[in-house]
Structure 1
Amino acid sequence: MRDPEITLRFLAAPTDAGRSGSVGAGRVLEWIDKAGYAAAARWSGGYTVTAYVGNVRFRRPVEVGHLVEARARVILTGRSSMHITVQVSSGPPTTGGLEPATQCLMIFVAVGEDGRPTPVPTLEPRSMEERLLADWAERRKDLRGQVQAAMEQQTYSAVGTAPREVLRFLAAPTDVNWGGKVHGGIVMRWIDEAAHVLVTRWTHNPLNVAVFTGGVRFYQPLRIGDLVEVEARLLHTGPHAVHVGVHVRSGDPATGRLELTTFCRTVFVVLDEERRAATVPRWEPVSEEDRALDDHAVELVAIRERFGE
């Protein structure tokens, strides 16, 4: 039987540091994607693509110089899909003690040379733990469906008055994955960066960190040389948090026509100089679209709370 689990271990480098001095959330998301891909490729025996990333909660920072362990495990399979849990832990290399930093559920799809989904081996649970994990992944399908339906019903247009930031650039050769396209971890890093710019401009405080990223759905591949547009839009503010919706679009720079490739929601917390939660300036919705998106952000929190997330 194929091994459903794989562990990557390495040191967090100074180049991994984010704005707060600790490793940036975008870099952690890259590690999550790489570990998930490694597990999916081993299980399927071929190339796989990221289809979904959900419920990434950043519980504690990863410090530069610490030993990092990213453990990915296949817990449920479909015809061509693999549900994979990824847990990132870290700690001082001098002690060897590792503490969980974040975890999430990912879905990868195996594809053949023609780019179409291809069957993967079926995972048969061999222990009570594996059966419980498979059941948990099955239950999350309903949560994922409700979140996705709520997100797809929303309208993002020029009528909205909410603060927004747009980053535009070309996808570089250094962004390539093993299949010749931009890998999902890079896209998630762009999402984190655009959201950080927006939150910084709104709060006038660059010391802000992502505490949650969810509902990351990859609609189509993004290719090297594509024109990329990452739009972050403020959805809702709480006492210490800013909820942001991010759309990633891409296309041929010769035509300028861009299509949606990825969409997600992320939540940032703003910190003071002592790294405690700081008060966030309140945003007041103005237009009908603003109010709908503000309600939408609150609804997503309620949906996850109903599922105990």
Structure 2
Amino acid sequence: MDHTGKHVQAGRVLEWIDRAGYACAAAWSTSYCVTAYVGNVHYDGTIGPGAVVEVGAKVIHTGTSSVHVLVSVHARGLHDTEFNRAMHCILVLVAVDEHGKPHPVRAWEPRSIDDAARQKLALERIPVRTRIKDAMLAERYSGQGTAPRSTLRFVAGDNTANWAGNAHGGTVMRWIHEAAATCAVLLGAEHVRARYSGGIHFHRPIRIGDIVEVDARAILVSGTDIHISILVRSAPPRTPDKASLTTRCMMIFSAPNDQPRPASIEERTSEDRRLAAHAREIISHRSELTKIGDELLRASGSTH
């Protein structure tokens, strides 16, 4: 549950979608897969305690070694009859061999009009994803920023491990959410909820036993929305000063209309202004994407 005790934490739902996406991609590729990218995670609704949850995953496109999976989460109260849309996104997983090297997967082909529509959604996202990735990789963060930030540091425990000895991608996404939510609270928005996660790029795995640093920084406040950039780094415990980037992400938290608005970010330095412009650039890229209709989500739930 979140800090109010009324809703399932968004980070926990991110773990569910990663597990569903992995199961779907592994079944299609008949091999171990690693999460490479999670994009346009829309938090369409909340999930209350005791809710019945349905997570559907379906292959919608394949590359040479990649499997693109559409995942949707629907939920209903225990005494309700209708499921409501709670979250959806597209994951890209890569099939790897026993040495961790990508290997080819069998091609997936649409079998229906809906399949073709889903594949179109996957294909149109590839160039936009590349532009977002390039923009995020080009951005630099230093101590010159004055906006609120939250940094979590801990050791990756064996309870987060997959069979390869790395932290699950879903677990990393939960860490990202926890750091970002803390950062949002620092802007005086105690009751904010996650509205969107995007540009989640996994650059390299986190080994169990590594020291992990999750750094979340607010870069733009627009109305009730707080845009937060998150960088995840890790390092072997014997060389903690040699941390390298593992994951990066952008999240948006929103304050409910009946709650006070978050404090604005005073753009005091050139870095503050540059990062605010960066957030607006990402918003512009995302606006190019076609929204996924519920009719395409509800049909998901099988691997092919």
Q: TM-score, normalised by structure 2?
A: 0.92
Match of 1:304 in 2: 286
Q: Which runs of 5+ in 1 are unaligned?
A: 1-16
Contact 2:191–2:259 under 8 Å retained in 1: no
Aligned residue runs from structure 1 range 1-309, under 5 A: 17-20=1-4, 21-203=6-188, 205-256=189-240, 257-271=242-256, 276-309=258-291
Match of 2:298 in 1: none
- Greater shift after overlay, 133-142 or 24-33? 133-142
User: Could you say which structure has the greater relative contact order, defined with CA pairs below 8 angstroms and 6 or more residues apart?
Assistant: 2
CA distance in 2, matches of 1:128, 1:94: 35
> What percent identity do the matched residue pairs reach?
41
State the Cα distance separating 1:162 from its structure 2 match. Answer: 2.2
Contact 1:166–1:230 under 8 Å retained in 2: yes
CA distance in 2, matches of 1:35, 1:276: 35
CA distance in 2, matches of 1:110, 1:235: 35
State the Cα distance separating 1:59 from its structure 2 match. Answer: 1.3
State the Cα distance separating 1:307 from its structure 2 match. Answer: 3.1
Q: Which runs of 5+ in 2 are unaligned?
A: 292-304
SS class of match (2:59): strand
CA distance in 2, matches of 1:39, 1:237: 37
SS class of match (1:202): coil
CA-to-partner distance for each residue in 1:251-285, whole Å, 9 max, x for gaps?
101111111000000011124xxx73531111111
How large is the Cα RMSD of the aligned pairs? Answer: 1.3
CA-to-partner distance for each residue in 1:161-185, whole Å, 9 max, x for gaps?
2221111000011111233210110
Contact 1:217–1:262 under 8 Å retained in 2: yes
Count of aligned positions: 289
SS class of match (1:281): coil
State the Cα distance separating 1:41 from its structure 2 match. Answer: 0.9
* Runs of 4+ displaced beyond 6 Å: none
Contact 2:124–2:289 under 8 Å retained in 1: no
State the Cα distance separating 1:39 from its structure 2 match. Answer: 0.2
CA distance in 2, matches of 1:175, 1:167: 16
What amino acid is aligned across from residue 283 of structure 1 in structure 2? I
State the Cα distance separating 1:202 from its structure 2 match. Answer: 2.0
What amino acid is aligned across from residue 266 of structure 1 in structure 2? M
CA-to-partner distance for each residue in 1:27-71, whole Å, 9 max, x for gaps?
010011010011011111111000000000111101110010110
Match of 1:12 in 2: none
CA distance in 2, matches of 1:96, 1:229: 43
SS class of match (2:99): coil
Contact 2:193–2:254 under 8 Å retained in 1: yes
SS class of match (1:306): coil
Contact 1:162–1:290 under 8 Å retained in 2: yes
Contact 1:269–1:277 under 8 Å retained in 2: no
Q: TM-score, normalised by structure 1?
A: 0.90
Contact 1:238–1:280 under 8 Å retained in 2: no
CA distance in 2, matches of 1:200, 1:128: 44
